[in-house]
Structure 1
Amino acid sequence: MQRVKARAPTSFKAQVNDAERRLNILFDHLNNEDLLKPATVESMAELARALQARDYDTAQAIHLDIFTNRNDECGNWMVGVKRLIGMSRATP
């Protein structure tokens, strides 16, 4: 997120801030160990590794798998993940 924040045009500041706010919801769930099952936590770790490696197609596929197959665990934070993937792809 820090890389995206540093490179995103100022015209996208609202979207960046919204994505960060939504991702903080995810981090709250992870820190509280609620909502997310261990398999989903592992998938999110894989997604993070894919983003770190700039493998955006894999990150997007993992996002879609979680959203499709474990929707009951998803919330507003999932939009933040989707935006992070898109913004990461757009800010080399």
Structure 2
Amino acid sequence: MDEMYVKPGNQERGWNDPPQFSYGLQTARTPQKNLLNKRPTLPGCAPAWKATPPEGAAGRIGGVEDPGQSEAEPNLEDVVEVLERVLARCRVDVAPQVCNDMEKRLRLFEDSWTSGRLSLPVRRRMSALSQELQAGHWDQADEIHRSLMVDYVTEVSQWMVGVKRLIAESRGPKP
């Protein structure tokens, strides 16, 4: 699961640059400035670090399929159905005020999706998160939640707290 969110290496890396993780990815980027520290290349010479990726590597990260690239447009009804089913199970043991807050935030999520405010990678990761919740894989769902909070904070900040609480409450009491 850790390798899923590591993006391919920077094409302009120095010999001692650390690996880059996707946590720096944001949809809103500042315009790129004219960098004065670019490495010059000789005319007619293609640098070795600009090699094209091997065939079939598109959509793969670190040898593992990227969940954001592996499937077509996710279905909102499927995702919401799973989340509502998990919420219904939580209503048995969790305080009504907490459940109502989770439900309100899930409605914000649904409204964001239907109004087109969610990017395709966010929709795909939420689909993957709902599948992990449905399967009872809380650690994987929590990892997807964490990556969404880090990579797409501006898109998910209003409703992701409810999803986080839903994951925690559906997991049940810690042993």
2:105 paired with 1:22: yes
Does the 8 Å CA contact 2:138/2:171 hold for their aligned counterparts? yes
**TM-score (normalised: structure 1):** 0.87
Give the number of equivalent residue pairs: 87
2:129 paired with 1:44: no
Match of residue 4, structure 1, among 62, 65, 90: 90
**TM-score (normalised: structure 2):** 0.47
Percent identity over the alignment is 33
- Whichever residue aligns with residue 27 of structure 1, its letter is E
User: Which portions of structure 1, spanning 4 or more consecutive aligned residues, are displaced by more than 2 angstroms?
Assistant: none
- Whichever residue aligns with residue 32 of structure 1, its letter is S
Q: Taking CA–CA contacts closer than 8 Å with sequence separation of 6 or more, which of the two structures ends up with the larger relative contact order?
A: 1
Output one character per residue of 1:41-87: Cα deviation in whole Å (capped at 9) or x when no partner.
Answer: 00000000000001000000000000011112122211100010011
Name the CA distance, whole Å, in 2 between partners of 1:32 and 1:70: 17
Unaligned regions of 5+ residues in structure 2, if any? 1-86
2:135 paired with 1:53: yes
Query: Which has more radius of gyration?
Result: 2
Match of residue 168, structure 2, among 66, 86, 92: 86
- Whichever residue aligns with residue 2 of structure 1, its letter is A
Larger helix share, 1 or 2 = 1
Unaligned regions of 5+ residues in structure 1, if any? none
